[in-house]
Structure 1
């Protein structure tokens, strides 16, 4: 992962030997810290590790934070190492990685340590303990690489009783393999490739020779069909051979639609706002990472959602508040105002410190996954630029999950009464992002800017609590507006944050431009995203049409984007027709147009849903429109999901 300048790091390297002599493993290594790491000096949060692919030699190299790094909190955290070699046994263990800043540490230097919860030895993997784990339990103290190498072992002479020669044990007598008498594969002859891995036996070790007639074949391989090549008429892909594309987003995993976007049914909280930065006497401050601590203050175990790269302001009073910088132009005051914070607490009353900017400063409270209000609420602030305290009384003390969605609302922390506690809660459903324009980023026609558009509501319906609204009004594939075109934004706004799912919705701001230019820009954008985020599930939504009778330039743009999405292997959804196309460009279903009629809000005569879904500017959706769009988009994406 990228680290801010000055972050202490070491380079972890290693090589996994193959279980079949002479080769190397392919596969991955997953490194995960036991907790979210906070770097107060650099005002940074490191929420997790990453996945590293082994190269052609079975080797890897990755930059990580050492466990003894100065300034990284909390203490006592550990690395979880998950070795996943293709074709080999999976090994999972906990370890400490030590070294001065800039040092290189080899996998050979790592030894298993107790898990953070004190469990001795290594943790079992999903399929049960590996052989390495069992060996550790029996007192093995060698390194991981040494253990893997020991599974291969040196090649030996051909066993004298090898009834089937070099290829495997001879059955019940088990004299043929490196591993002896139990060899159930002996009778199969050349097909028995695993003697070195069998149980110990009485026979001698067998070495396979390249000249052994049982291991060679003089046949000339048949040339691969040219039609299967890149650009061929029938390229090899999961779809062409009937395989299911790799995905973790399935219909059966989605939340109950009747509950996902429903309101909280518990006692209505009492909420008040005061222009002050002084909490109730005796309350303890849980500050955002980066804000200076004083007295009994502590850094809160907050879980941020919807944004990243949090920073404090450069001058007072902004040094007491954090904002994300993960949306173009990627500065503290860049207008990246839509994000959320979650935490667990058992308190009845808590207070939230914030800076009041303007009437655009809004919030929405959710309790145990249910929003208290459907739309964003006014913060109740009074004087612009001043600190305020939001006091929330839940009516009783009980363990709860709290979420606060913010719009233009710098966050200064949470205060709890003595005896109350706070803990970190995990986000759910993977990271969902949208790269879009003002239809996603919000406009005057809806409440709460980007937190009040279709996107936040669709994210709840799709079960993603980490929803990144990366829209910028006026932008598009070839139109920068006041910011930048999509292509120039992804390296800063999308790729560094590795979304699990990405919706790309633009084109309306481009529709009067050159279709060939839109086509080229779309092709380049999709290619760049697929290359940078190979595991990300993507969906393209076509050109927005705020009327049931769109102009030819809008329908042409929709068709252009559909063509390029199919070429890139990305599912496509048309707002104009409601048609849903899979990654091969094949029509899956047609749900009908999203906008019907030509009416406008406030018009004396209106037809279809345009009269209530489209605001008076004739382009942007109303709150009612965004509610409807969330349902339509959720239905379309769900149609394109595997069961």
Structure 2
């Protein structure tokens, strides 16, 4: 398979500062222009005369050219090994790092003056979703259905913007083999640089998303926090059921970072885990955290890192959850990494000094389907009693952004 080239990350000369962050209201604003018209057809034959702009690595024919796409949120792109997958690219930058392993949400950006374009995809199933953004504003808050019909078949999504004008287009994908863009004759396309720096989240299903939220990860706390921080290049490296000492169906944090994190050189990294470990040995959690933080600090000296402590889906957690939170805080302080506690809302700087207390993130003991009328858990926690709802992810994004902002220089 052929790798897909992408721009190297920047190494920041100075830390991120509060003064450089976007207005959070504007960061989440929806596109206010003419509503695009979107339709999907099961075909790979574009409108007559349209020119194909293919992903790098895909074989060209006739008038095809390689498109100037700027990937975001993923890397190590490859084409499939056999037809029809040889017409499509997917990233391999998330464990288990295979063509079909899944990268959650990843994106491409480009500029065009076309009034209409066609997006080629291979339909996998109902999880094949996308989202359009125009000039930095989302056309929809969450990912939307691709409109595909037969699994395994190629499709074209026609997006009519209503008029010809220079625009910056962003397409977010999930479970979406990308086959390029078709433009009408006379329309042009160009590469655009990504805004902000590279933001990455190493974590479990809280970062990756779960059945408790909709939109295939496009509305998780991580995706929303990335926008609050002004980061177009947001790499969500969460895997459900994992942690510091817990591999689940994948691998522990320590076993994943050599491929998933370090070579992709994030400028800002959040490490959020511990919930899947909290009933295990605290000494083992401490040792794993200490090793993880040391390795990351040595390999990524320019990266700003934040450890988020143990999740609690209730305002009255059992003893092992706050104990795990304390274990991680101690290890983070020893590694000189700022720490954010979901249990107390306390924010500690790299020296372990308390700099802000925002209050516990989850209050009350309810959940969707079993509400108590007290606290935010009634609406923030899904019916499984563990994972956040869409509303919960919106709230968590605000809390995490506030905590990171409190730990940033002015």
When the two structures are superposed, what TM-score results if normalisation uses the length of structure 1? 0.63
TM-superposed deviation, 1:375: 1.0
Match for 1:488 among 231, 252, 255?
255
Match status 1:257 vs 2:217: no
In structure 1, the residue matched to 2:230 is 463
Identify if the C-alpha distance between structure 1 residues 49 and 352 changes in structure 2 by more than 3 Å, giving closer, same or farther: closer
Q: 5 Å matches for 1:425-436?
A: 425-436=192-203
Query: Residues 344-372 of structure 1: CA distance to partner in whole angstroms, max 9, x if unpaired?
Result: 00000011000111111111110000001
Separation (CA, whole Å) in 1 of partners of 2:209 and 2:371? 26
Q: 5 Å matches for 1:518-557?
A: 518-557=285-324
Separation (CA, whole Å) in 2 of partners of 1:624 and 1:46? 34
Identify if the C-alpha distance between structure 1 residues 46 and 266 changes in structure 2 by more than 3 Å, giving closer, same or farther: closer
Match for 2:365 among 598, 609, 624?
598
Contact 1:339 1:468 in 2 (8 A): yes
Match status 1:247 vs 2:14: yes
TM-superposed deviation, 1:335: 1.9
Match for 1:420 among 184, 187, 211?
187
Task: Tell me the C-alpha RMSD between the 2 structures.
Answer: 1.4
Separation (CA, whole Å) in 1 of partners of 2:386 and 2:406? 27
In structure 2, the residue matched to 1:438 is 205
In structure 2, the residue matched to 1:47 is 7
Match for 1:620 among 375, 387, 390?
387
Separation (CA, whole Å) in 1 of partners of 2:364 and 2:2? 54
In structure 2, the residue matched to 1:216 is none
Match for 2:64 among 268, 289, 297?
297
Q: Which has the higher contact order (CA 8 A, sep 6+)?
A: 2
Contact 2:119 2:179 in 1 (8 A): yes
Match for 1:354 among 121, 132, 135?
121
Identify if the C-alpha distance between structure 1 residues 431 and 293 changes in structure 2 by more than 3 Å, giving closer, same or farther: same
**Structure 1 stretches lacking a partner, 5+ long:** 1-40, 52-244
Separation (CA, whole Å) in 1 of partners of 2:35 and 2:4? 35
**Structure 2 stretches lacking a partner, 5+ long:** none
Contact 1:337 1:409 in 2 (8 A): no
Identify if the C-alpha distance between structure 1 residues 49 and 449 changes in structure 2 by more than 3 Å, giving closer, same or farther: closer
Query: Residues 439-492 of structure 1: CA distance to partner in whole angstroms, max 9, x if unpaired?
Result: 010111111333331101100000000000000000000000011000010000
Report the more deviating stretch, 330-339 or 621-630. Answer: 330-339
Contact 2:9 2:265 in 1 (8 A): no
Identify if the C-alpha distance between structure 1 residues 48 and 605 changes in structure 2 by more than 3 Å, giving closer, same or farther: closer
Separation (CA, whole Å) in 1 of partners of 2:209 and 2:219? 7
Separation (CA, whole Å) in 1 of partners of 2:15 and 2:196? 9
In structure 1, the residue matched to 2:151 is 384
Separation (CA, whole Å) in 2 of partners of 1:519 and 1:449? 32
TM-superposed deviation, 1:46: 4.8
In structure 2, the residue matched to 1:581 is 348
TM-superposed deviation, 1:604: 5.0
In structure 2, the residue matched to 1:402 is 169
Match status 1:510 vs 2:277: yes
TM-superposed deviation, 1:50: 8.5
Tell me the secondary structure at the aligned position of residue 560 of structure 1. Answer: helix
In structure 2, the residue matched to 1:558 is 325
Separation (CA, whole Å) in 2 of partners of 1:569 and 1:43? 36
Separation (CA, whole Å) in 1 of partners of 2:375 and 2:328? 26
Tell me the secondary structure at the aligned position of residue 390 of structure 1. Answer: strand
Identify if the C-alpha distance between structure 1 residues 615 and 49 changes in structure 2 by more than 3 Å, giving closer, same or farther: closer
Larger-Rg structure: 1
Separation (CA, whole Å) in 1 of partners of 2:209 and 2:45? 34
Separation (CA, whole Å) in 2 of partners of 1:471 and 1:599? 26
Contact 1:286 1:413 in 2 (8 A): yes
Contact 2:6 2:70 in 1 (8 A): no
Match for 2:138 among 371, 390, 402?
371
Separation (CA, whole Å) in 2 of partners of 1:439 and 1:44? 29
TM-superposed deviation, 1:428: 1.2
Tell me the secondary structure at the aligned position of residue 449 of structure 1. Answer: coil
TM-superposed deviation, 1:49: 8.7
Query: Would you say how many aligned residue pairs link Structure 1 and Structure 2?
Result: 410
Separation (CA, whole Å) in 1 of partners of 2:304 and 2:103? 24
Identify if the C-alpha distance between structure 1 residues 341 and 50 changes in structure 2 by more than 3 Å, giving closer, same or farther: closer
- Structure 1: 4+ residue segments shifted above 4 A: none
Separation (CA, whole Å) in 2 of partners of 1:376 and 1:253? 28
